[in-house]
Amino acid sequence: MADIELFNALQLDAIREVGNIGTGNAATALSGLLSRMIQMDVPKVELVSIYELGEHYGDPMQIVGAVFVRSTGGFGCSLIFIQNEDDADLMVELLLKQQFGTYIPVNEIPEEMKDSALSEVGNIVLSSFLNAINLLVGTHHQISVPGVAHDMLSSILDVVASIYGQMGETALLVNTELRVEGLDAGRKISGHIILIPDPDALELLLTRLKVM
Amino acid sequence: MAESTIVLGMADLMVVPAPVKLVTLGLGSCIGLVVFDSFAKVAGMAHIMLPDSRGLKGSEKVGKFADTAVPALIEEMLKKGATRPRIKAKIAGGAQMFSLPGSSAEFLTVGAKNVKETKLKLAKMGIALVASDTGGNKGRTIEFSTSNWLLKVKTLGKGISEI
């Protein structure tokens, strides 16, 4: 298996480009779902110590809403769509308003409906991301049913540690942000997509991209 | 003497004399293992991430794995004046943060494996496990105080319990 700490700049660039293409497709899909403009960042490829994951993405104790999917097949990976809990609430309000035409404040939406809406958003964002990658790399995949959790950021990110901790002490992650802007009162909704490639899938990816 | 507070990060392991408060924030599938000897007035904690270290390079932190953390923690306790029959243990954590119906990804159930391996290691070393709050699908923040030798467990949406 490739040693992720020895990847050269060209290889990291190739992984970033994969993230870029995934993010573009995810932004387009989210824009279609919400009928809104979506802003996206250029993704970052990050080598993060598994001991510092919690701090790396902000306050480890902040409450976040997270949607998680697993992709198996050619390019095995896990993906998390992660939002600050307030942003996740706004996202749910926005989606339900878009689909039913009436505004319902989030505290009047039943928990199950909130989770189901959040899971829908996460599923569309993450599967669009994956579809673009697989098209680029020329692999086929199966995507799992999404799992939803609301909890402390640090607890959620234990899942990354449990994937990369088996191999060593560093995780390779592709991190990008999508933002919904132009909402009432200058509010915006932000969400992070974190791609966690299976360590043994990276070699395949780089081989297909002809940089290994 | 005032009680000082020590916060342990991922894979940290330490043993300190009382009075002290040992804290670990946001445990998901990880385990917070507490050991103490109330007679010798010494306590230790480890933030365990994975069940076993087999097949991994030996240069890593001992606190990372259940199979290496438990013996290291006990050895450190003995060095600081504890005696083995008096050492008691408490554990919290080992949640499964995400359930994906139909997915067989092994890493999703690492929490349960962490609990199992930690309990097994404690039993093998003859250490009494006197309290535990493990499993479920919620993260936990824990605080162990030598003022009452109780482990405070905070869980989102479930409040605080002392074990």
Q: Give the C-alpha separation, B35 to B126, whole Å.
A: 13
CATH of domain A4-208: 3.40.1550.10
For all residues of chain A together, what is the average pLDDT? 88
Q: Give the C-alpha separation, B27 to A150, whole Å.
A: 14
Report the DSSP beta bridge partners of residue A36. none
Q: Give the C-alpha separation, B103 to B111, whole Å.
A: 16
Report the DSSP beta bridge partners of residue A176. A193
Residue B50 has pLDDT above 60, yes or no: yes
Task: Domain B4-148: give its CATH architecture.
Answer: 2-Layer Sandwich (3.30)
Residue B57 has pLDDT above 90, yes or no: no
**Catalytic site includes residue B30:** yes
Chain B residues with a Cβ under 8 Å from any Cβ in chain A: 9-11, 25-30, 49-50, 56-57, 60-61, 64, 95, 97-103, 105, 107-108, 110, 137-141, 156
Which residues of A are less than 8 Å from B137 in CB distance? 149
- Quickly tell me which residue has 């993060």 as its tokens: A48
Structural tokens at position A22: 């995934």
Query: Of A53, A60, A158, which has the smallest distance from its Cβ to B97's Cβ?
Result: A158
Whether the CB of A82 is below 8 Å from some CB of chain B: the reply is no
Comparing B95-99, B106-110, B147-151, which segment has the lowest mean pLDDT?
B106-110
Per-residue pLDDT of B84-94, as tens digits, reads 999 999 999 99
Where exactly are the structural domains of chain A? 4-208
> What pLDDT does A55 receive?
86
**ipTM score:** 0.90
> What pLDDT does A136 receive?
84
Q: How many residues does chain A have?
A: 212
Per-residue pLDDT of A7-40, as tens digits, reads 888 888 888 888 999 999 999 999 999 888 899 9
> What pLDDT does B63 receive?
92
Closest by Cα among A38, A55, A37 to A46:
A55
Confidence label for B72 from pLDDT (cuts 50, 70 and 90):
very high
